[in-house]
């Protein structure tokens, strides 16, 4: 694995009992980590490209899943970003040129040092030790910015996988997650609950950030699970939504959220959509501070639950709301109710879709051999 270095922040998060002043016996301090990653070359001999061009896809993701802030996420099918990558003799060896950005937004920079896809592509090239080949990259955005569906992670995942594929798939998914984290750290913060499921597919638990330890959670094949994703016409930048989070929480909320996160993991492994929904709806730390920043969110959650959803919360940093169920038809009905609630409670237009779990993650779509 590539080397990851971390540093503790100057201000840790404290959990304290609400009826007493914080003290060592009642206080649990959890360090947050910022990445000062040093990505090492992992391949002994620089690989040659096996394709002249590749096209890849990376799915949208739902991070946090309620109580799993920064350590739980999953991929959803059918939505995401595409990257087309080509060996380009006109590009300086060892570098990446972003030649075109299309899709839901064209306002992203084409500077590869400041673009999610560019940063991840460069990080992957560094891991592979690419010094003799230049690449040009086209990014097609299927996800809007600031949607709460892992837009930056989808771009990074698609780019990292594209570089890996064009050079013969020398890196494993764990290494590709590290490359994607280089991008996430510079764009929205060092958190893997979008980039890990975007690359690995399915549900992923981030057991540890120091060192990075990822645990795929397998939802049973014979069980049904549907996500109702309702996205309003409202942008919620991740950095802004993270800035709204509390720096201290009561010990009772820490205990509650821990139990709900554990229940959510059990529900995933057992294929229990109803329990998954209950746990997903039960966050007492993050959702209460973010929901008021999304017009109509409280009404949307109420509408989803009254409409028969097993649970509802904010997807990632928002503003997309996600509800879960075990039937597509019921999901369509719930989605309509949630769209109406966004208009009624927040005066926001919104669109709804019902999607299944993406169990594959970022993948090669097409290629042209040399």
Pairing of strands 248-250, 13-16: parallel
Query: Does one domain contain both 58 and 167?
Result: yes
Mean pLDDT computed over 298-314 = 98
**Domain-embedded: residue 43:** no
Domain that holds residue 135: 51-218
Q: In this structure, are 256 and 284 located in the same domain?
A: yes
Identify whether residues 192 and 246 lie together within a single domain: no
Q: How far apart are the first and last CA of the chain?
A: 29
Catalytic residue from among 124, 238, 313, 320:
238
- Same-domain status, 266 and 131: no
Nearest to 181 by CA among 202, 199, 207: 199
CB burial string 257-284: b at 16+ within 10 A, e below: beebbebbbebbeebbbebbbbbbbbbb
Q: Are residues 202 and 68 in the same domain?
A: yes
Is 289 one of the annotated active-site residues of the chain?
no
> What residues contact 84, with CB distance under 8 A and at least 6 apart?
53, 54, 55, 137, 138, 140, 162
Q: Is residue 16 part of a domain?
A: no
Mean pLDDT of the chain, nearest integer:
89
CA distance 83 to 74: 21
**Domain termination site, one of 166, 190, 218:** 218
Same domain, 173 and 157: yes
253 and 205 in a single domain? The answer is no
Residues 156, 273: one domain? no
Q: What is the CATH number for 344?
A: 3.30.70.890
pLDDT at residue 190 greater than cutoff 90? no
pLDDT in tens, 201-218: 999 999 999 899 999 999
- Tens digit of each residue's pLDDT (9 = 90 or more) over 231-269: 999 987 777 888 889 999 999 999 999 999 999 999 999
User: 38 falls in which pLDDT band (50, 70, 90)?
Assistant: low
Cα–Cα distance, 344 to 295 (Å, whole number): 10
Tokens 């997903």: give the residue: 280
- Domain contains 361: no
Looking only at the bridges linking them, the beta strands covering 34-35 and 321-325 are unpaired
Distance (Å, rounded) from C-alpha 313 to C-alpha 304?
Answer: 10
CA 32 – CA 161 distance, rounded (Å): 28
Q: What confidence score (pLDDT) does residue 25 get?
A: 33
| pLDDT value, residue 172 | 95
Listed residues 171, 187, 218: the one ending a domain: 218
Our count of domains for the chain comes to 2
**Residue range 163-189: average pLDDT?**
94
- Active-site annotation holds for 238: yes
Query: Does any domain span residue 345?
Result: yes
Q: Can you give the CATH number for the domain in which 73 is found?
A: 3.30.230.10
- Co-location of 239 and 347 in the same domain: yes
Q: Using 50, 70 and 90 to split pLDDT, how confident is the model at 183?
A: very high
Instruction: Confirm whether 193 is domain-assigned.
Output: yes
Whether 178 is covered by a domain: the verdict is yes
206 and 330 fall within a common domain: no
Asked whether residue 40 is assigned to any structural domain, the reply reads no
Residue 22 within any structural domain of the chain: no
Beta strand segments in 251-320, E: 311-314
**Residues 210 and 250 both lie in one domain:** no
Q: What is the pTM (predicted TM-score) of this model? A: 0.88
User: In this structure, what token pair is assigned to residue 65?
Assistant: 């899943």
Instruction: Identify the active-site residue in 175, 182, 184, 287.
Output: 184
Last residue of some domain: 191, 218, 245?
Answer: 218
Nearest to 355 by CA among 202, 227, 232: 227
d(CA 214, CA 203): 10
């Amino acid at each position: 694995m590539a080397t990851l270095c971390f540093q503790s922040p100057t201000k840790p998060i404290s959990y304290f009992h609400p009826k007493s002043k914080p003290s060592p016996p009642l206080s649990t301090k959890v360090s947050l980590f910022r990445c000062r990653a040093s990505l090492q070359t992992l391949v002994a001999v620089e690989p040659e490209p096996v394709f002249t061009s590749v096209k890849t896809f990376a799915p949208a993701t739902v991070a946090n899943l309620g109580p799993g802030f920064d350590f739980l996420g999953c991929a959803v099918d059918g939505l995401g970003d595409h990257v087309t990558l080509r060996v380009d003799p006109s590009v300086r060896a060892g570098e990446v040129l972003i030649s075109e950005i299309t899709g839901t937004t064209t306002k992203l920079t084409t500077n590869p040092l400041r673009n999610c896809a560019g940063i991840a592509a460069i990080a992957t090239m560094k891991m592979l030790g690419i010094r003799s080949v230049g690449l040009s990259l086209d990014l097609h955005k299927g996800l809007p910015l600031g949607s709460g569906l892992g837009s930056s992670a989808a771009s990074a995942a698609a780019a990292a996988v594209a570089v890996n594929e064009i050079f013969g798939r020398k890196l494993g998914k764990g290494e590709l997650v590290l490359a994607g984290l280089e991008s996430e750290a510079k764009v929205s913060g060092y958190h893997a609950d979008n980039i890990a499921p975007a690359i690995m597919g399915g549900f992923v638990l981030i057991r540890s950030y120091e060192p990075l330890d990822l645990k795929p959670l397998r939802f049973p094949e014979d069980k049904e699970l549907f996500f109702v994703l309702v996205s309003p016409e409202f942008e919620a930048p991740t950095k802004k939504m993270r800035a709204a989070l509390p720096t201290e929480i009561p010990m009772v909320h820490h205990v509650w959220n821990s139990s709900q996160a554990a229940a959510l993991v059990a529900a995933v492994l057992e294929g229990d959509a109803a329990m998954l929904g209950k746990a997903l709806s039960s966050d007492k730390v993050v959702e209460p501070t973010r929901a008021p920043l999304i017009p109509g969110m409280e009404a949307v959650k109420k509408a989803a639950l009254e409409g028969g959803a097993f649970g509802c919360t904010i997807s990632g940093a928002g503003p997309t709301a996600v509800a879960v169920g075990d039937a597509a038809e019921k999901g369509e009905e719930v989605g309509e109710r949630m769209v109406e609630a966004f208009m009624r409670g927040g005066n926001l237009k919104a669109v709804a879709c019902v999607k299944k779990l993406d169990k594959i993650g970022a993948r090669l779509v097409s290629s042209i051999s040399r």
